[in-house]
Structure 1
C-alpha cells in the first residue's frame, strides 16, 4: 500500500463522520456543501489513486477475471435482484400513470321494463310493455393533486426503485467478493496439497532409506518408527485439503452459474497475489461508492415522503369529472339530441369520520421516518467500522505472513544444516526429525496464512464498496480460460 493504514483510516473517518452531519435532514442526494466539508477535512497528502472498479483485476489472473465476469452476468441471486428492480420500476410507471385522467367506456343492452315504465303505465291506465334498452356511457375523471399526494407517491416510488437498484449493486459486490474468495480457496488448498504431497514424497524416500539403514545396522527401529509417525502425520491433512478445494470449486460453480463439471479441475494451483499496489482512494469516494449507504439514503427518502402521502388524507379530495351518455330506447335514436345525457363538474369529498385514522397514519409514518434515519446513521457508522476493521486486520495479517515467511526461510536453512550434520554424524536422527517436522508444519501454516491474507484483502475491497459499477463494462474473458467450452 502506498499510504500508511493510519492515513487511510483518517481519510475514511473524516469522510464518514462528515456524512453523519447531514443525517438530520431528509436526504435526496448528498449535498455539495457536505462534499465541500468532507473534502476540506481530508489531509493534503490524500492519495489520488482511486479504487479500481474491478478490483479483482489487480491479481492479474485471466481465469479469475473470467469467473467473476461470468458470475456477475449469470448469478441467480443477481437475476432475482434484477427482477425485483423491474417490479419496482413497473410500480413507478403505475404510480406515474395514475396522475393521468382515467376514462370509462361502457355499453349496456337489456330487454324488459323499468320501474319508470311501470309507474307511467299505472298513471295512464295502460299496460307497460317490454322493450330493448340501450345504455351507452363515456365518463372521464381526474383528481386534482392540490396537496401533492401524487407527487409524494411518485417520488416515494422512485426512491424505492433507487433503493432496489442499490440493493442489486450490493449483491454485485457480494457476488464478486464470494467468487474471488472461493477461487482463492481453491487455489490455496490446491497449492497446500501440492506442498504436502512433496513433503510426503520426501518422507517416503527417507523411510525407504532408513529401512535400508536399519537392515544394515546403521539405524534403529525407533528411528524408523518415529519417521513413519511423521510420515502419517504429514499425510493426514491431505484428504481435507482435497475436500476443501473440491468444496470451493462447487461454490464457484453455484456462484458463476456454470455446471460443476465445467469448472476445470486442473486450474489454479498457486495462491493469487496482488500484482499492483492496493489503492484505497479518498474518503468522499467511499461515501459515494458504498451501495448500502445509497440504499439506506433512498429508504430514508421514501419513508419521509410517505409522511406527505399520509398527511394528504387530512384534506378534501377534489375530482373533476365528465359524463356523456344516451337515454335512447333504440339504436336508431342514439344520436338524437333529445336523448343526450351529460354532466360535468367537480366533486369534493372529505372523510370527516376518518380524520383520527389519518392523523394516526401521519404519526406512524413519522415514526417510520425516524426509524429510517436511525438506520441510515447506523449504516454509515457500520461502513466506517468495516473499513477501519478491514484495514487493521489486513495490516496485521500482512505483517504476520511476512514473519511466517521469514520463519520458513530460517526453518529451511536449519533443516539443510541438520541434514548435513546428520550425514556427517554430528547430529542424531531425532534432532533431524524435529527439524523436518518444524519445516513441514511451517509450510502448512504459511499456506493458511496465504488464505487468511487473501480473505483480508477481499474483506477490504468489499468494505471499500467496489465491484458493482456497470458504466465501464469490459469484454468478458472467454470461457475457454476456465478449461471448458462456452
Structure 2
C-alpha cells in the first residue's frame, strides 16, 4: 500500500478513501511462478441481502438462524450492555437542563439565634418547632463545551457497543450456518461412505465366488476385505461429528441439545444464486467493525474536548427561595421569605503541566483511534478480497475433484467388468476401487469446505447484523455525529 494512500486516509472523506483502497486492493500479483486464477462468474454486483442465509432457500436453516439471533445468550448480554450505555447517555443529556431541588425540613429544638435573643431579653430560650422549606435552581453555563463533548463521547461509546453487538450478530449468523452445513455434510458423507461400503461388499462377494471358481486367490479376497474395513472405519466419526455440530447449533440458539438432536438434513445447503457482493461504499456501511472504529474515533476526539474544557472556570447560575418562619401558619408571610439569586464561579485552578499532559494524552489516543480506523478499513478490504479469492479457488478445486471422480467411476466400472471377464487381475481392480472411494470422500469434504468459503464471504461482507425492528437501530443519524 503506497504511503500516499495512508496519508490520504487522514484528510479525505470515507467514500474517497474507500475508492482509493479498492483500487489498491486490485494491484496485479507480481509472482511469476503461477498465473492468477481467472475470475469465475460466481459473483454479482447486486446488493447483499440483509438475510444472506435465505439465498440457500433452506427453511430449516432460515428458522435456525432467526432463532439464534433471537435467543443467543451472548447477544442478549451485548444488548444489555448497549442499554446500560444508552441509560448513561440519558444521564449526561440531563446535564444540559437546569437542576432543581425542593426540600422541606421539620425539627424541634432551639437554635443559637434563639439563645442569643433570649439572653438579650433576659428570658429563657424554650424549644420550639422549626420549618425550613426551600426551593433551589441551578444551571451550569456550558461555555467551554465540557457538557457537549461529554455527551458526544457517551453517544460514540453507545455506538461502539451497538457496533460490537452487530459484529456478534454477524458471527452468530455465520456460526449457525456453518454448524448446520456441517451437520448436513456429515450426514451426506456418511451416506456416501455407506454406499461405498455396499459396493465393496458386493466386490468382496464377487471375489469370493471367483475364488471358489478358481479365478481369484485368497490374497485378492483379503485385500478387498481390508479395503472394506478401511472404508467402514470413518462411519462412527461422521456420526460423532454430526452430533457435535448439532450441539453447537443448540448452544448458538439458546436451546438444550435434545431440542436439535432430531434435526434431519441429508444434503448440504446449496447456494441458489451468484454471490451478491455489492459495491465498496455499501461495504463500509455494512461492516460493523468499521462503524465501531469510526465511533471510537469520535469518542476519542470528544474526550480531548472534555480535557481541554477543564482548563477553564465553571460558571453556574443559581436561585434559591425559602422561608424562615418559625410556625407552619407563618410560612407565607412576606417577612419570612428568604431568597437569593446570582452566579457562582468555581475554578479548580489547574497545574498547567498536568492539564496539558492530560490533553496530550487524549490527543495521542485520538491519533491511535484514527490509525486503528485506517487499519480496520484496510483489513476489511483485505478480508473481502481474500475470501473471494479463496472461494473462487475452492470452486475450481471442487470442479476438478468432481471431474476426477467421474473418471474414476468410469474406470472402476471398466475395471470390474475386465476383472469379471478375466482381462484384469484383482490388484488392478483394488487400485481402481480404492481411488474411487478416496475421491468420493474427498468430494464430500470439498463440498463442506466450499460452503465454509461461501460463509466466509458473507461474513467478510458484513451481512446479517441488520434488525427487523427499525426502532432498535442506533445509527449516526439518531445519535448525532457532532456534539
Would you say same fold, with TM above 0.5? Answer: yes
Distance (whole Å) between structure 2 residues aligned to residue 380 and residue 386 of structure 1? 10
For residue 420 of structure 2, the aligned residue among 423, 426, 436 is: 423
Task: Give the aligned partner of residue 141 of structure 1.
Answer: 138
Per-residue deviation at 1:266? 5.2
**Equivalent residues of 1:39, 1:284 under 8 A apart:** no
Task: Give the aligned partner of residue 239 of structure 2.
Answer: 242
Per-residue deviation at 1:36? 8.4
Task: Give the aligned partner of residue 54 of structure 2.
Answer: 57
Matched, 1:350 2:356: no
Distance (whole Å) between structure 2 residues aligned to residue 80 and residue 32 of structure 1? 33
**Equivalent residues of 1:390, 1:459 under 8 A apart:** yes
Distance (whole Å) between structure 2 residues aligned to residue 340 and residue 466 of structure 1? 66
For residue 194 of structure 2, the aligned residue among 192, 197, 200 is: 197
Task: Give the aligned partner of residue 168 of structure 1.
Answer: 165
Per-residue deviation at 1:257? 2.5
Alignment of 1:407-446 (within 5 A): 407-446=404-443
For residue 388 of structure 2, the aligned residue among 381, 388, 391 is: 391
Task: Give the aligned partner of residue 334 of structure 1.
Answer: 331
Aligned pair in 2 of structure 1 residues 266, 428: CA closer, same or farther (>3 Å)? farther
TM-score, L = length of structure 2: 0.87
Aligned pair in 2 of structure 1 residues 446, 81: CA closer, same or farther (>3 Å)? same
**Equivalent residues of 1:188, 1:447 under 8 A apart:** yes
Per-residue deviation at 1:125? 3.9
Alignment of 1:250-399 (within 5 A): 250-263=247-260, 265=262, 267-353=264-350, 355-399=352-396
Aligned pair in 2 of structure 1 residues 171, 42: CA closer, same or farther (>3 Å)? closer
Task: Give the aligned partner of residue 455 of structure 1.
Answer: 452
Per-residue deviation at 1:451? 1.1
Distance (whole Å) between structure 2 residues aligned to residue 40 and residue 435 of structure 1? 49
**Equivalent residues of 1:107, 1:137 under 8 A apart:** yes
**Equivalent residues of 1:144, 1:319 under 8 A apart:** yes
Distance (whole Å) between structure 1 residues aligned to residue 469 and residue 446 of structure 2? 34
Aligned pair in 2 of structure 1 residues 40, 197: CA closer, same or farther (>3 Å)? closer
Distance (whole Å) between structure 2 residues aligned to residue 320 and residue 459 of structure 1? 58
Structure 2 regions of 5+ residues with no counterpart? 27-42, 471-483
Distance (whole Å) between structure 2 residues aligned to residue 54 and residue 352 of structure 1? 56
Give the secondary-structure state (helix, strand or coil) at the position aligned to 2:74: helix
Alignment of 1:67-106 (within 5 A): 67-106=64-103
CA RMSD of aligned residues (A): 2.6
Deviates more, 1:245-254 or 1:111-120: 111-120
Per-residue deviation at 1:38? 8.2
Distance (whole Å) between structure 1 residues aligned to residue 85 and residue 432 of structure 2? 65
**Equivalent residues of 1:47, 1:282 under 8 A apart:** no
Aligned pair in 2 of structure 1 residues 127, 320: CA closer, same or farther (>3 Å)? same
